[in-house]
Amino acid sequence: MLTKIVIVLMLFIIIFVLFRGLYFLVKGKGNPEQTVKSLTWRISLSVVLIILLIIAVLSGYVEPHGVNPNVQT
């Protein structure tokens, strides 16, 4: 349960940083450094989230589900 909360929290933080970058892009007043810094944070957080998901799946904290390739229709 804690793993799922961390994943959802990370997604909300990534979305917040994405909109923060959009704000700096639109209202930046000629200072692209804030936009680049915000988008760098978003990319870094996304990479960290993907790595955490891979670790969680491999360690068994999160079980992937969905399409079962063993079931034939």
37-57 per-position pLDDT tens digit: 888 999 999 999 999 989 988
Distances (CA, A) of 25 to 7, 41, 73: 27, 15, 49
Are the CB atoms for 40 and 14 separated by under 8 Å? no
- For the chain, give the mean pLDDT: 85
pLDDT at res. 33: 86
Position with higher pLDDT, 37 vs 28: 37
- List of residues 6+ apart from 24 with CB closer than 8 A: 31, 34, 35, 38
Q: Give CA angle at 12 (27, 41), nearest 5°.
A: 55
Map out the domains of the chain as residue ranges. Answer: 2-59
Q: What is the pLDDT of residues 62-73, one digit of tens each?
A: 887 776 666 665
